[in-house]
Structure 1
Amino acid sequence: MEINSFEDFNLNRQLLNAVADLGYGQPTPIQQQAIPPVLAGQDVLGIAQTGTGKTAAYLLPLLMKIKYAQGVLPRAIILAPTRELVMQIDAAIAELGKYTDVRHLAIYGGIGPKTQIEALQKGVDILVSTPGRFTDLYLKGVIGVKQLNTMVLDEADKMMDMGFMPQIRKILEVIPVKRQNLLFSATFPPKVEELSYEFLEFPTRVEVTPQASTAEMVSQKLYEVPNFRTKINLLAHLLADENATNRVIVFTRSKESADNIYKFLARKVVADDRIRVLHANKGQNTRINSMEAFKEGNIRVLVTTDVTARGIDVNEVSHVINFDVPLIYEDYVHRIGRTGRANRTGEAVTFMTMAEEYHVAKIEKIIRMEIPREPIPEGIEITETPFDERQDMLREIDNQRRKEDPTFKGAFHEKKHQPAPRGKATAGGKSARRPKSSTPARPGKPKAGPARNRRK
C-alpha cells in the first residue's frame, strides 16, 4: 500500500489533528517504513540520520499505543544519550500528544532530582531519560518498572560512543522481558549491531538512507590549513559576511578550544550578544537558554563541542563549520546534519591540518565520497606554524602511522641526528669517538632506565 499522507496510517483523530497543526504534509521515508511495523507491535531497528523525521516515526505509534493517562507507573521508556536530546523528545511528545491526556516526563542529570521525583510520584505514562539519571532514580526506588511494555533507544550509536553500554545492560536486566523494543541509530557500527542482537527480537529493519550518508541538501567543502592561527583567521573571514552566514554552529574538539574561539570572535568579529559558547562545563540553565536563543534566531553563532552534535532540531542553520575534525568519525555526519534540514539547503565547512588528514580520509571512507577541497581565499593571513605546534602534529602523525603499522619506528624520531658509528669517518673526515665525560663514572651505580608509567 502506498502511503501519501498521515491519514493512511491507523492513527486516531487526536494525533492526526496534532500532525496537521504542525504542518506536516507527506510522511518522510523513515515514517512511511517505520510507523506500520511499530503500530503492529513488532520490534524495529531503524537506521536514519537526524533531521529525517525519525522521532515522530516512533512517537506517533507509541502515543497511539498509550492513548490515554492510566495508573501511576510509566508504560514506556525512551532512552537518549544527552539531556538536550531528552528535552527535545519530550517537547515533541508535548506537540504530538497535545490533544491527549498522556503524561510525559523528561529526567536527566545536571540538576537536582527532587522535582523529577515529585513528578514521577504523581504518575507518568511515557518517561524520557538519559541512562545515568534513570539508573540513579531506579536505585533510589522512585521509578517503578512493572508496567513498562515499550522501550526505545534513540541515537544508539552515540550512546555506545559515550560508554553507556554497561548502564543499558543493567536497565535491560530490571525491566519486564515481555515488551516491544525500538532501536534507532544514525549509523550501524559493530557496537550497535551487538546491542541490537541483545535488545531486539526478530526486528523489522528500516534503513532509509545508506549508512552514514551525508544529507543531500548539504554542500560540503574542506580547506587545508597549516595551523590553529590560520584556522582562526579563516573562521573570522567566513563569519565577516553576516548575510551569508546568518546562523552558524562552529564545532571544536575540546572545551578549551571552544572557549578560546568564542573569546576571539566576541572580541573581533561577532557582537557579544550574538554569540554563545556551549560545552559540558556550562551549567544546565546556561545550556538550555543558549539553545533556545539560537533556535529563536537571537544568537547568530554557537561555538560548541560535540555535546550538541545530535538531536538538536534547528531548521535554519546556514552553516556548520568543523573547526576541528572529529575523532569519532560518525560524528562528522551528525555535525553537518545540523544544517540542510527540513528541505533547506546548508553548507558544511571543514578545516584540516596535516595531522587531521588521516582522520578526514577515514571520514571520507565512511561517507563514501571525497570532500571537495577549496583554496584558501585571497587576503587570509597564513601564519607560520609555531615550533611546538608543528612538533605536536608530527608526533600525532607518527602515532597514526604506528596505528596502521605496529612495526613503524617513527619518522618523527628519525629526524633527530644520530651519532656516527664508532670508528667511521664523519663529514669532517675525523673518526667519531665517544666524548670523554668530565665526571668519572661512579662504580656500581646502574644506568638510569626508561621512565615507567609516565603519561604521554
Structure 2
Amino acid sequence: MAWPEKLKLNKRLIQSLTDIGYVNPKEIQLKTIPRISGGQDIIAIGPEGSGKTTAYILAVLNRFRYAAEGVPKVLILVPDKDRVLDVISRFDLLNKNKSLLVVGLYPAPGTEAQMNALADGADIVVATPDRARAIYLKLGLNLNKMEMLVIDDAELIVKQGLQLPVAELANSMTKCQHLVFTEVMHARLEKMLDPFMKLPALVEVEDTDGQTMDVIPQLLYILPNFGTKLNLLNFFLQDDEVFTKTVVFVNTRQTAETILRSLHTRLKQAAAILNPWFYELPGFASLDDFMRSPQARVLVVVNDPSENFGVTGIPFIIHFELPDDKQVYISRVTDHNPGRESATMALTFGTDLELSVVRKIEQATGQKIPVAGLPEHLLIEKERKAKRTGESNPKQPESTIGEAFHEKKAGNAKNYNYGGGQKAKMNKKRKHG
C-alpha cells in the first residue's frame, strides 16, 4: 500500500519518502498522522522500529507548508544528545523546505552557542529536557508561539529522572498540542503526563519481527521497586518443597551481595554465589558443583554477556534484574527441545522502568510474557526518595533486609496466585536436584 490520500501529506513529503525507499506507511503512522493533523493530543505506544519517530516528523513537516517564520513552533524532547542528533538527521533526510530551521539543544560546555543558534532563528527545536529548561530559564528559548510539544522515548526520559523539566516546559506553553511516543506505558509515565495531557487519544501497535521462538514457560512479576523485589524473592524461596534448585540472575556484584545477605537470614548455607569475588562469600566454581550439592538451593549469578550460561535442568531461573543485552535473556529462555515438557521455568521480576526491556524481548521472541498476580501477603515497600526525581534507591529498602515479608500462615501456604495447571507444573520441579 502506497502513502494514502487520507494522510494528506504534501507532495514534497511524499517525494522525499519515495526517494529514500519509504514506500508504504507503517501501522503507527496510519493511526497517528490523521489525529495529529486534526489537532488531537495523542499517546502512541509501539516497540522500537515501529515507525514512531518518522510519524511525528512527517506530521511536523506537513505543518510547515509555506515559508517558516524563524520562531519556535515545535519543541521535541528526547532523552539524550545522541537522540537529538538522530532526530535532526531524520529531519534533514525528509525535509525539502530549506527555509525551515531546526536547532538542537543538548548538554555541552556552555550554553552560548546554542542560545546564539536560537537567536538566529529556529522553527523546530529538538532538545533534551534539562538543556531546554536551562536555556528557557535564561530567556533564550521562546515558548510563547509553541504549537506542538513532542515527547519522544518518553519511557527513557522518565528512567533518567527528567520528569520535572518536562512538566515545567509543558506548563509554560499556553496553547499547545501534545504528542507522546513511548515503548511502554506505566504509572510513573502517567504521573508525568497527567497534569498537561487532556483527553489524549491512545494509539498502541504490536510490531514483531514476524518470527515466533520456542521458549520455556515464563511468568512476569511487575513490582514497584527493589525492596519489593527482594520481598518476593524471599517469599518464594522460603518454600523448599517447590523451589528446590533456583538460579537468580542479577546485574551487579553489589546486588548479588545484598540478595545473599537477605537470603542468608533464612536459608543459611543454602544460598551461594557463582565464582565469589571474596573468599568469605559462600559460592561455587560451576553450575555443576551447585547442582551436585545436596544443601545448596539458590545460586546467585551476576550477568556476564561474554559467558554462555546454560540453564538446562534447573527447575527455576529468576531474573531479579534484566540483563542489558536482550539476547542474554533470550538465550536462557530458548526451548531447545520443543514439544517436550520443559524442566525449567523462568520467573522475571521487573519494575516500571524495566518494562521497555521486557517489550524488546517480547518483540524479538514474538511472544508475550504472561503477567502473574502478586502473592496476597507480599509486603509492598514504600518508595524512597532518591537524589533525582523518578529514581528509586535500591541500596536502602525501607524495611529490614530479609524480614520484609509476612510469614506464611497455614491457610495461605504456597498461594502464588497461579492457576491449577501452572501450580501442577511447578510442583513437578521439586524432584530435580
Judged with a 3 Å threshold, the aligned counterparts in structure 2 of structure 1 residues 139 and 158 are, in CA distance, closer, same or farther, namely: same
Structure 1 segment 58-69 matched on structure 2, within 5 A: 58-69=56-67
Q: Identify which range, 33-42 or 189-198, moves more after superposition.
A: 189-198
Counterpart code for 1:102: L
Structure 1 equivalent of residue 191 of structure 2:
194
Q: TM-score when scaled to structure 1?
A: 0.52
Counterpart code for 1:19: L
Structure 2 residue corresponding to 1:337, chosen from 347, 350, 360: 360
Please state how far the C-alpha of 1:27 moved relative to its aligned partner.
Answer: 1.2
Structure 2 equivalent of residue 185 of structure 1:
182
Deviations 1:343-397 (A, max 9, x none): xxx679xxxxxxxxxxxxxx955599xxxxxxxxxxxxxxxxxxxxxxxxxx99x
Structure 2 equivalent of residue 449 of structure 1:
none
Deviations 1:216-249 (A, max 9, x none): 548586995763687799744659xxxxxxxxxx
> Could you tell me how far apart the structure 2 residues matched to 1:15 and 1:88 are?
19
Deviations 1:154-205 (A, max 9, x none): 1222222322222222112322x21111112211112222333322223222
Structure 2 residue corresponding to 1:87, chosen from 82, 85, 88: 85
Structure 2 equivalent of residue 42 of structure 1:
40
Structure 2 equivalent of residue 432 of structure 1:
none
Judged with a 3 Å threshold, the aligned counterparts in structure 2 of structure 1 residues 73 and 402 are, in CA distance, closer, same or farther, namely: farther
> Could you tell me how far apart the structure 1 residues matched to 2:403 and 2:99 are?
59
| Larger relative contact order, structure 1 or 2 (CA cutoff 8 Å, min sep 6) | 2
| Conservation of the 8 A alpha-carbon contact between 2:44 and 2:182 | yes
Please state how far the C-alpha of 1:42 moved relative to its aligned partner.
Answer: 1.2
Structure 2 equivalent of residue 150 of structure 1:
148
> Could you tell me how far apart the structure 1 residues matched to 2:215 and 2:275 are?
18
Counterpart code for 1:5: A
Q: TM-score when scaled to structure 2?
A: 0.55
SS of the residue aligned with 1:105? Answer: strand
Structure 1 segment 122-141 matched on structure 2, within 5 A: 122-141=120-139
| Conservation of the 8 A alpha-carbon contact between 1:102 and 1:125 | yes
> Could you tell me how far apart the structure 2 residues matched to 1:112 and 1:197 are?
33
Structure 2 equivalent of residue 321 of structure 1:
328
Please state how far the C-alpha of 1:127 moved relative to its aligned partner.
Answer: 0.5
Judged with a 3 Å threshold, the aligned counterparts in structure 2 of structure 1 residues 6 and 216 are, in CA distance, closer, same or farther, namely: same
Judged with a 3 Å threshold, the aligned counterparts in structure 2 of structure 1 residues 330 and 174 are, in CA distance, closer, same or farther, namely: closer
Please state how far the C-alpha of 1:329 moved relative to its aligned partner.
Answer: 5.4
| Conservation of the 8 A alpha-carbon contact between 2:186 and 2:352 | no
SS of the residue aligned with 1:128? Answer: strand
Counterpart code for 2:205: V
Structure 1 segment 163-174 matched on structure 2, within 5 A: 163-174=161-172
Instruction: Report the structure number with the largest CA radius of gyration.
Output: 1
Counterpart code for 2:40: Q
Deviations 1:328-354 (A, max 9, x none): 4553644873997xxxxx679xxxxxx
Judged with a 3 Å threshold, the aligned counterparts in structure 2 of structure 1 residues 338 and 13 are, in CA distance, closer, same or farther, namely: farther
Please state how far the C-alpha of 1:130 moved relative to its aligned partner.
Answer: 0.8
SS of the residue aligned with 2:132? Answer: helix
Please state how far the C-alpha of 1:113 moved relative to its aligned partner.
Answer: 2.4
Structure 1, unaligned runs of 5 or more: 240-252, 255-304, 310-318, 341-345, 349-362, 369-394, 409-456
Counterpart code for 2:196: F
Task: Compute the RMSD of aligned alpha carbons.
Answer: 4.1
Counterpart code for 1:38: I
> Could you tell me how far apart the structure 1 residues matched to 2:108 and 2:400 are?
36
Judged with a 3 Å threshold, the aligned counterparts in structure 2 of structure 1 residues 233 and 166 are, in CA distance, closer, same or farther, namely: closer
Give the total of aligned pairs.
Answer: 281
Q: Does 1:227 align with 2:274?
A: yes
Judged with a 3 Å threshold, the aligned counterparts in structure 2 of structure 1 residues 234 and 135 are, in CA distance, closer, same or farther, namely: closer
| Conservation of the 8 A alpha-carbon contact between 2:47 and 2:359 | no
> Could you tell me how far apart the structure 2 residues matched to 1:238 and 1:69 are?
57
Structure 2 residue corresponding to 1:72, chosen from 51, 70, 73: 70
Judged with a 3 Å threshold, the aligned counterparts in structure 2 of structure 1 residues 339 and 189 are, in CA distance, closer, same or farther, namely: closer
Please state how far the C-alpha of 1:16 moved relative to its aligned partner.
Answer: 0.7
Structure 1 segment 232-311 matched on structure 2, within 5 A: 235-236=305-306
> Could you tell me how far apart the structure 1 residues matched to 2:349 and 2:107 are?
25
> Could you tell me how far apart the structure 2 residues matched to 1:214 and 1:74 are?
36
Please state how far the C-alpha of 1:64 moved relative to its aligned partner.
Answer: 0.5
Please state how far the C-alpha of 1:70 moved relative to its aligned partner.
Answer: 2.4
- The percentage of counterpart residues that share the same residue type is 23
Structure 1 segment 364-383 matched on structure 2, within 5 A: 364-365=369-370
Deviations 1:46-103 (A, max 9, x none): 1112210011111111110123552332100011122222222222111121454321
| Conservation of the 8 A alpha-carbon contact between 1:320 and 1:347 | no
Structure 1 residue corresponding to 2:99, chosen from 86, 98, 101: 101
Structure 2 equivalent of residue 276 of structure 1:
none
Judged with a 3 Å threshold, the aligned counterparts in structure 2 of structure 1 residues 332 and 65 are, in CA distance, closer, same or farther, namely: same
| Conservation of the 8 A alpha-carbon contact between 1:218 and 1:339 | no
| Conservation of the 8 A alpha-carbon contact between 2:184 and 2:355 | no
> Could you tell me how far apart the structure 1 residues matched to 2:358 and 2:198 are?
31
Counterpart code for 1:321: V
Structure 2, unaligned runs of 5 or more: 217-245, 250-272, 277-285, 287-300, 310-320, 333-347, 374-395, 409-433
SS of the residue aligned with 2:328? Answer: strand
Judged with a 3 Å threshold, the aligned counterparts in structure 2 of structure 1 residues 50 and 366 are, in CA distance, closer, same or farther, namely: farther
